[in-house]
Amino acid sequence: MPVSTPVPMSATLAADEALARRRAAGERVLSMASGEIGLPVLPALRERLAAAAGENAYGPVPGSPELRAAAAGYWRRRGLATDPGQVVAGPGSKPLLFALLLAIGGDVAVPVPGWVSYGAQARLAGAEPLPVPTRPGEGGVPDPELLREAVTAARRAGRDPRAVVVTVPDNPTGTVAPPDTVRALAEAARELDLVVVSDEIYCDLVYDTSAPAHSPARYAPERTVVTCGLTKNLALGGWRTGVARLPDGEAGRELGTRLVSVASQIWSSPPAPVQSAAAYAFGEPPEVIAQVAAARRLHGTVVRAVAGHLVAAGAALAPVAATCYLYPDFAPLRDRLAAAHGVHDGDGVARFLGERHGVGVLPGSAFGEPAGSLRVRLATSRLYGADDGQRLAALAAPDPLALPWIAGAVAWAGEALADLAAGPGPAARRP
């Protein structure tokens, strides 16, 4: 039976829809659950899409030559020599990740905490996810030692792990694993003969551009598949476009052939008009570079402000270095949360913030945290404005925190967190 357990709805998309319903019902909600980027489409990209509206042919399954060449250039500029023939485009990096699991086969090791869909996709592909914890502050990269133990034990038990997923920069923690850890992961994958599937959808959102994330493709180029897209860097989630970079060499070509075959049976090709605009975007003309830089600054500024409230409330938080996510641990407040609010885990924290304050966040359980964990994920990406005018102003502002709608949203989150932390026991430090 291919589906032995019920398939869970994507937690981020479900949370998004729930908040949209509450807002439609007139409730005042602060959406920090989904990582959808609330920023407008760059005009140059809008124009490219409109100009390609007459394109209705399927085109090649792995994407147009223009898109594949542009994506290859994008990776080359990031230190990964790439031939266009190594690129497979798809309708989002999510379907590419799923198709990769089908094309690789076998079971797959996934980081814990990790993005909500890795495990669900593995189960849909008929595999079992093998959860491997990450090291503190080094999210997205399964601890190489624990990976060795887990894969060895799984093989001894008759299972067939063939791949390991990494996320650099990381969702949900917003951290960037250091090069040494990425290298150690790559070496472990080589020893264990695993394909590395490196989800780098946040690669352009590292705040310190002088210290970019290192891809495992640097250290294990023969076995690393990199996926990326325009969803996060350019806020184009609704356009559905992503790209995968297959390893060079014979094994990489074979995997690429299988990936394209799977794609041909599931989705045919990425949407043609979108491919045209995506090719332009991956070419990184100056206005695209400026837009990504402005978004990166905005995420960093608002994330730091929310981080201040979390730390003030008494949560533990690894320094956020990238993305629009914060992944606090309320464990230091465990006794107080239980006594004051009857809250014992991340689901309870999310319920409290949602029901009492209209602040939507995702519990750590959605990312694979064990029972009793007091982690939740907050995303700042929906706080930048209620309409394109506000969002453009946020992108352009020297100090986005001075804009009243952003200041208000950050203060709202801060009040909710202070209320969560208040109660019996030592008082929380106020911001």
Residues between 131 and 190 with contacts to a copy of itself, criterion CB under 8 A: 160
Ranges within 376-395 binding a copy of itself (CB under 8 A)? 388
For residue 98, state whether it binds a copy of itself (rule: CB under 8 A): yes
User: Are 275 and 65 spatial neighbours (Cβ–Cβ below 8 Å)?
Assistant: no
3-state secondary structure (DSSP) of residue 151: helix
How far apart, in Å, do the first and last CA atoms of the chain sit? 54
Shortest spacing between CB 307 and a copy of itself, in angstroms: 26
Query: Which of 8/249 has CB closer to a copy of itself?
Result: 8
Stretch that binds a copy of itself, among 52-60, 192-200, 358-366, 420-428 (CB under 8 A): 52-60
Query: Which of 166/260 has CB closer to a copy of itself?
Result: 260
For residue 13, state whether it binds a copy of itself (rule: CB under 8 A): yes
User: Are 188 and 144 spatial neighbours (Cβ–Cβ below 8 Å)?
Assistant: yes
Query: Which of 43/136 has CB closer to a copy of itself?
Result: 43
Tell me 218's DSSP state: G
Residue 335 vs residues 288, 331, 357: alpha-carbon distances, Å? 48, 9, 21
Ranges within 216-275 binding a copy of itself (CB under 8 A)? 235-240, 258, 260-262, 264-274
Query: Which of 106/252 has CB closer to a copy of itself?
Result: 106
| Residue linked to tokens 């209320």 | 419
Query: Which of 91/385 has CB closer to a copy of itself?
Result: 91
Strand arrangement, sheet containing 325-326? 325-326, 376-379, 362-363
User: Are 231 and 93 spatial neighbours (Cβ–Cβ below 8 Å)?
Assistant: yes
Stretch that binds a copy of itself, among 46-54, 197-205, 207-215, 338-346 (CB under 8 A): 46-54
Query: Which of 135/159 has CB closer to a copy of itself?
Result: 159
Query: Which of 39/141 has CB closer to a copy of itself?
Result: 39
Q: How many residues form the binding site for a copy of itself (CB under 8 A)? A: 71
Among 125, 212, 218, smallest CA distance to 163 is for 125
Stretch that binds a copy of itself, among 49-57, 210-218, 292-300, 349-357 (CB under 8 A): 49-57
Stretch that binds a copy of itself, among 4-12, 169-177, 401-409, 421-429 (CB under 8 A): 4-12
Stretch that binds a copy of itself, among 41-49, 71-79, 307-315, 330-338 (CB under 8 A): 41-49
Which residues have C-beta within 8 Å of that of residue 337, sequence separation ≥ 6?
Answer: 330, 343, 344, 348, 349, 374, 420, 423
Shortest spacing between CB 306 and a copy of itself, in angstroms: 22
Shortest spacing between CB 162 and a copy of itself, in angstroms: 9
How far is residue 309's CA from residue 290's CA, in Å, rounded to a whole number?
29
Shortest spacing between CB 341 and a copy of itself, in angstroms: 30
Shortest spacing between CB 199 and a copy of itself, in angstroms: 14
User: Are 352 and 420 spatial neighbours (Cβ–Cβ below 8 Å)?
Assistant: yes
For residue 1, state whether it binds a copy of itself (rule: CB under 8 A): yes
Among 296, 350, 290, 337, smallest CA distance to 320 is for 296
| Residue linked to tokens 């409730």 | 27
Tokens of 160: 């067939």
